[in-house]
Amino acid sequence: MNTVHPTQDEQQQFRISAFKGIDVGLGQADPVASISAKLEEQYPNHLILVQAGKFLHGYDRSAHALNVLKQYKVKLVGTTDTPHIRVGFPAGNFKKRLWSIVDEFSIPYVVALGSKEAGHTVYVSENAVGNSPVLAAISKDVVNQIIYDMQQRGEMNKVTTKQMLSNPDSSGFKLKSQAQELDIHLMQDIIKMPRDIRVTYGENVRVCMARIMHGIFAYGLELNKSVLLGKISADVDLLKHYLAQAPRLSKLKFAFEHRVGLAVELGRLLGGVIRSAKEPA
C-alpha cells in the first residue's frame, strides 16, 4: 500500500521523529483502537491518529478534540463491552489537515502509518509550544459520558422515530438540536479558556451543560417526564446564570451574546415542551 509519509525535510521542518510501530495484540475487538490506546499512554497530550486502510482514525480523547475543534463527525464503534468514539479522514492528505491544527491550536500529534500486516511507522511531532492543556482538559469521564450519551441516543432513536411518525409536533426535536448546537459551541469555548478559568468556571459550565444534554437525550425513555423537564429547566436557568458571569471574568473571551442567545432559545423551546406535556392527552 502506498502512503504519503513525511519527507526528511518535512520531518526536520516540523520537528517530527519516526520509529517502527508497536506490536498489536490479536483477538481484540478493535486492534486499531488498541494501537491508539498504547500510543496515548506514551503521548497523553498529543492527538493520536492511526492508519486503517485508506483512512486515519482517532479514538476517544483525540476523537472528541477533533470533533470540537474541527467538527469531524464522531461515530460510536467497538463492542458493547469495549465501546469507543472515533473520527476518521483520508490518510493521503493528513499533513495538510494536521499542520493546520498545529498552526491554529499548537497541539502536537502522533501519526501511525502502515497496516497490521506490514507494521506501522510512528511519526511524532514535538511542537516546542505545544498546547498540552487542550488534551489534558478531556478526561476519561468526559469520553465515557459521550459514549453513554451516544448509546442512549441509539436507544432513544428507536422510540422517537415512532413518536415522530405519529406526532406532527416537532418541538421536542428542535429542543434536542438546539441543545446540541449550544453544547458544541460551549465545549469549543471551554477548551480555549485559560487553565485557571477552565478548571473553575469552565468546569461549572461543562457539568451543567452535560446534565442538560443527558436529560434531553433521556427524555424519550423517561416515565416521569414532568419531573425530568423540571430538572432540565432548572439546569438551563443555572447555565444562564453562569453565562451572565462571563463578562466579569477579565481573561475570558468568547462569543458571549451568541451563547446567551442560544441558551435563551433553548429555554423558550423547553417551555413549549413543558406546556405541551401538561396538556391533557
Domains of the chain: 8-130 (3.40.1170.10), 139-278 (1.20.1440.60)
Of 225 and 26, the one with more pLDDT = 225
> Rg for the chain (alpha carbons), in Å?
21
Average pLDDT for 102-124: 85
Average pLDDT for 162-185: 69
CA–centroid distance for 269 within its chain: 24
Write the CA distances from 135 to 7, 171, 181, 262, 266, integer angstroms. 27, 36, 22, 26, 29
Which residues, including other chains, have CB under 8 Å from residue 169's CB and lie 6 or more apart? 276
Write the CA distances from 42 to 31, 110, 124, 176, integer angstroms. 17, 10, 11, 38
Stated pTM of the model: 0.50
Least confident interval from 12-26, 122-136, 243-257, 267-281: 12-26
- pLDDT tens string 10-65: 766 666 666 554 443 323 467 788 899 999 998 888 899 999 888 899 999 999 98
- pLDDT tens string 87-110: 988 888 777 878 877 777 778 889
Q: Which DSSP string corresponds to 108-162? A: -EEEEEEETTTEEEEEEE--TT--THHHHTS-HHHHHHHHHHHHHHHHHHHHHHH
